[in-house]
Structure 1
């Protein structure tokens, strides 16, 4: 075990060491790339300032070589000695050399390569940074000289990599060198490694590093081995070597070699393994000594006990106890042998008592026989009264007996089923062979129980669904019961289960598929279309002015209309087509294996049949029309989400062109732009939710009479990646279309309630907040539990929270809105009806919805000074709202004149830029500052 533990520890330490070295060399590679990038960036910056030298602009534009040379000569010395630039070449717009400075190791062929780069940069006007290696490696930058956005020439600047290598040495602490493979370097100071056919033109810690490389060259080939990390031992130290190829013009010629000293880490591994081995061996020796000393004494005492046990077996209980007393020695501390002595004595007493009881038990056998007879009668009565079928089978599978409940349920008498095979009472389509095999396994003792469900015959011709449990019984002859079968009637349960399964896939109002089942069917249709290369279509439509029918004739009329539309769809489409109600007044139809013309014809047929449909109720006749969006698959979408989005946008396009119309989604029209916009905002919303980029702004609401501010409206903003602050107008619609609106609602609730707790933590006078809810909040089953949980978690007084909804949000789902508002108000929170007065049904909603405050829409307040009609309308709205006992808030209060006019009306609160602009938390709330 010690050896195994040492091996495992060694392997673990080596693995950890190798992983750390890999990470270290990855960091080296990033540092090298970063240093070369910074070198190239510095050269580009120097190239960019050339046109801005005094007089250089006019010299470049006039292509005056002498002037260019004279101007740049003044700066060349500083550039060469301070920045380490090796050479500079300037070319005119005709790619001709204008002037050059510095001495290079370039040959005639290199001039051709540089000219090629100059032409490329001249054409693209984008600087490039190639690496050129000959006898040494020079980092070049070929950059355009831009004057007022026009190219006035090309600058070629070269610098040695020596500064980058020294910088790497300072940063990493490892030695680094530059190797030129297959290079005939003329540099007298260059070091050559013959076996690698390479020259070392630059190397830190030159003497030792060169010896290490020579030692490595004898053990490893050049690039094949050194591309990975290799380790060698030199001068009693451990070194790791790794090559990093440079992306130069001459492929695979230039490499950076990094030499790391890992002696300390390797020695630590060896020391750790030796310490583990020594500690383990020492522990082994000590444990052997302790075991020997302990067991020698214990075994001698255990031997004494073993000699007295035969007395116990022969029934000499008193002699056994006496012998144990003589052999037992007095111990200062009790151990397991003492416990064995005591247990043996106690066992002798119990055996003696049991022997006496056995004789007395014989006298009770006759009395127990009578008791067993009574118990048998009780079991027989119990089987007859139990509400389950109880029957027994023999080893041949024939029925022997059946209880009274079984006779009542199947209408068979027990005598009629005796000697009848059990399988005969099951329906014929049941897998009788498999069941018979399993019952035989019970008879043979291969299994104890068997559970299964089967449809069972009744004598009157009916059937019952029964869950059977077969258990094995012990038997001696073929006529003895072998299997006990208990059957529970689950007929009603199966009926309810089937109905629930149907409800899971169907809309109970129209009997069409619901959204969940429709999504599954659409996904399968798309898959078949892709597999067999058949085109298909999706029709998505909703009914025009359906909410008007609900408001004027009631929800019963709306339900009747939805059933009529569903029946019309089933009569209109093909038998293979799939129709569904997706919710509200939205319907969809899947048309598999159909082309564009066929899909359009079906849409026209649906519109024609809808136009013929009329609903007359309470003396009022409603005509039906719809707007249909058509999307083809796989052309307009290869998954359910994209296809529904395309069809949805096409449907809205049909509404824009005029109701009772169809529209075919097209990638060329603006519908495609809407999809792209939807995807753009979806990604932004998901990123903001993931990285907590949403933030809350607060806008104060003033009490008009007391001029106090104790209430704020919570407004949502998105902090974009570019630093800008985005309002909800840009992303709320996309969130509703993509289903992310619920996540935004949950996030706003969490942040707002947490801020409410923080604001009122040390305040004597509580501050209340208004939180806006989206139109989809009333369809969110998680909303109310979240509010309850957050109120408990943050210990917030519900009276300090109010929730704002708009008239349009309430109109979307009036019963749902009313129910949710009532439950939230039962918690103690309040409600504000926003945009009051915009709709024609404002007073109706004021009566139907349990709101505390109404907020008059800003369109009536903004021009109330100039527009007398707005004044009359606002006074009327105030009169009705105050008559219902509601508080009244006016928004868009932009100046003092508007505020004074509102003070003369029945306005309770004012909100607008005059009172205060929306701002982050810190603008209005500080921990030690009163509002």
Structure 2
């Protein structure tokens, strides 16, 4: 049975309120003593007049009647002290009867006068005690004065003096002691009731266990957690409610008993009465109990929601939000793991790189929603085309990668052809431009990559472009033993092409406007890099990762910084003196002395205020070396430049970087912005990012703002700046000035 300590007194016990009212538990011993006094004087020999004992008996009966009458009243009244007052004449009659005609001097019943004095001292007020003291003195003095010698002699005066002192001095002391005990009892009761209430009403589960782990008592929250009533849990072992097959609770309690006196925390899963698992956190300690010995107190907190949230964050960090596939970060991690395996046990498996043909036309013609739905469908086709041990990822846009962990070249070719066939077959069932969507796949085995001593991802990318140049909707496999390598390697001599672009100044900068949501003013722009190659404007996604791999990215970033500051100087001089540029830096450039020198030299050369330059670093760039990034950001901040953390929220360590790096702006990742007007989850994430950034004194920029509804949500949630196609697309400098700078409207571009 569940043990319970209640604030209400148990039957047969005396609470402080019973003492103040003179309850039966207190009255019975006083009544027994008074009755014994009457019985004693009736025993032979008896020489006192019969009417004295009879009057004493009547007086005692009247005392009992008044006591019963006072108890019938719900509140204290004048009747409560009356029985005690009547006990004084009763004591005088019994004393006289016991004296058998010789007066009080020979009577031993004078002690009965203590009964009403003690009664009032315990149950009465200070005023009533003074009345009782006066009655006690009167009871002793009256016979001496009224009857006198020889029945009452001088010794009775001394007796009266002694009992009067008892009544006047000792009785108040006794009353104070009783009151102190009453107050202590009340405080103990209130404290006990408070502890009981705290235990029973605690918002988290609390269980008391014996040293063997059996439940002594649980509160309501604990019982609700497992879907039972508290009494149904008592007597069972706490481990009985754990998810079958797990032993975490036994381990937890075992370690707790081994290290007594320490608080121990751990996590486990409970199985509730409905068969559902509840993830909980246990915090336990061993406490001593005077009656029961050692007791284990376990605090149990349901952290299922927090666990689901953390799992969701971890999933978002490693998976593409749209398709649910692994993202580039997760894929590169899996690829590195597989490369380690190949170095230890020899090359095995293959890498497929897939790019959709004509996909841009779907977005431009049917809209992004249609394009997103097509990507989701193709992701499903890829999942169904590989084994569970393989990895499929969306690297970005319409580019996918498949890691076949254990296969030969022929197997890789067969899987690639199956993928191309399934995508073409699915597209054939669609309407409009989506019917023309196909896939170009480049396949490279890890053995072939080892033969070429080249990066497998770069080889797969070049091989994929071989497939595109072969007419698209094709599979090209880099054959093992073929020393010629991919045909696109000639195109694809990206190192030479990038070096040539730097030497011939064939890079271009486009500007995308950033709007101050509060004022509606275009106050800054992000600088975006393009490569002009054979009449084609190549986006950075096609060449930046190659530039990073071959070590050219610091040179490219140095060119970008110098040209950006040149354009910024023109912008501030001719159009807006407060305009700012956001310039992206590669992770390979962070901390590079050449980049720092280029920034300082360019600021000086073009006479630009450092505060107008905002350096953007993506989370993935910061991941490589947080200490190096922090040192670099610190030096640039001292110079006067500002920093922006780009793609915030895309990585699992976002808040870690926000804590440890110097940033003035937080750019919310577009995955949380593109659908924020439709998704309550995205809106909640945006609200939390904005709140944290504001508390840290940082400003926020929302990327991918493509619709008025998205902009309105950003405004309502307190985002500071907006960037996206609704605000403006990336355009060259002169076109940007004409479209977005009020001072340039109606005037020719400033050459």
More strand by share: 1
Which protein has greater RCO, CA pairs closer than 8 Å, 6+ apart?
2
